[in-house]
Structure formats: structure tokens, C-alpha cells
Amino acid sequence: MTESDKSVLVVFSGPSGAGKSSIIQKLNKDYPDRIGFSVSHTTRPPRPGEQNGVEYYFVSEEKFKKMIENSEFIEYANVHGNYYGTSFQAVESVLNRGRLCVLDVDVQGCRSIRRRNMKAIIIFVSPPSLSELESRLRSRQTESEADLRKRLEDAQGEMKTCEEQNLYDLVIVNDYLDRAYKEVKDYLAEYLEKRDQKVLQSL
């Protein structure tokens, strides 16, 4: 079995505040040796101590725009004048090390992964309701009122994408974190078991 045979891209998507980071944190805690995170590209200058290829790949705006033109990004955004993006190549490099590459991307990112026909498990994390989502975002206290409103507005559209054919492999409702996490873990375990059996049978 080669290293890349053992790898799979695991993508989490869903509204802001649905619990993607909470689930990813738990996965990372339980499987620190199996999980890898891709290094993003950015046009912001490195801060003291930051190394190229470790915290980020630091590139010029010209280079970043060229990469956009060449469709090299799964997703990218301009935040306060600086570009940030997740490249397909950065994900491949985690996968080539035989790791499960875990990503948190928006709906467009999920569609772009599907278009590339990548071997990926795409999981939509849904809040139990929009009112519960609002109350979690409020207790997190990380957004301004305007930002919070925008996130809740976006959430309505994001929830509708659950019905899109062949976009998500699994939709989980994050009612209780431990229960939702178990659903993710069981799904991954079953996927990996089936896949490893297939690989073994083909040897």
C-alpha cells in the first residue's frame, strides 16, 4: 500500500457557528498522528518568526492572482486587502504523506472539490435550528452585531445546499457535540475500513 492509498480528504462545511471547528478539534485530539492540515497561501507579509511553508506560503499578489487564473485554489478570499487561499497542491502534499487531510471550506469550495473529482468525504455540519445557531454565535462573542447578522443571513442559503445532489456525503445535525462527533467518527471508521479492505483485496 502506498502512502497516498492511506489518505483521504475530509471536508467540513456548513454555516458559521454550526460547530465545524469544534468537531475538527476533537478529531485532531483523538488522531494526532493520522490527521494533517494543509498550509494556506497568503499575500500578507510574514510576521516575525513565521516561516514560508509552515504557517503559510507567503506569495506576492501577482503570483496569487496568477494562481487564481490557473484555478489552483479550492477556495480563496480577500480579507482586509490580503488574499488567503487553500490550494489543491497544498492539500495533495498532505495526502501524499498518507494523512487524512482535514479542511473547513465554504459551499463553493465543496463544489470545486467535486468538480476535480477528488477522493473526498464532504460533511455538512448543520445547527439544530437557526435560533440555536444565533444563540451559539452570540455566546461565542467573536463577531460584531453586523457580522453576526450577515452570518445568519448566509446560513439560510447554506442550509438549502443540503438538498444539492451529490454534494455532501454526510449531513450531521450538531445538536449535542459528543453525539455529532461520534456520528462523524463512525462514518470515517466505516469508510476507512471498507477502503482498506478493498486495497488489501487488490494486492
Ligand X SMILES: Nc1ncnc2c1ncn2[C@@H]1O[C@H](COP(=O)(O)OP(=O)(O)OP(=O)(O)O)[C@@H](O)[C@H]1O
Residue numbers at the binding site for ligand X (CB under 6 A): 16-22, 136, 140, 174, 176-177
170/192 with CB nearer ligand X: 170
Q: Alpha carbon of 35 to those of 38, 98, 105, 157, 185: distances in Å?
A: 10, 9, 17, 30, 13
Active-site pick, 116, 140, 149, 179: 140
The question of whether 44 is a catalytic residue gets the answer no
The question of whether 151 is a catalytic residue gets the answer yes
67/123 with CB nearer ligand X: 123
Say how far apart CA 181 and CA 196 lie, in whole Å: 22
Active-site pick, 34, 44, 151, 195: 151
Q: How far is the CB of 177 from ligand X (least distance, A)?
A: 4
Q: How far is the CB of 154 from ligand X (least distance, A)?
A: 10
92/154 with CB nearer ligand X: 154
Active-site pick, 47, 111, 114, 138: 47
173/192 with CB nearer ligand X: 173
The question of whether 116 is a catalytic residue gets the answer no
Q: How far is the CB of 11 from ligand X (least distance, A)?
A: 13
Q: How far is the CB of 117 from ligand X (least distance, A)?
A: 26
Q: Which residues are catalytic?
A: 47, 140, 151
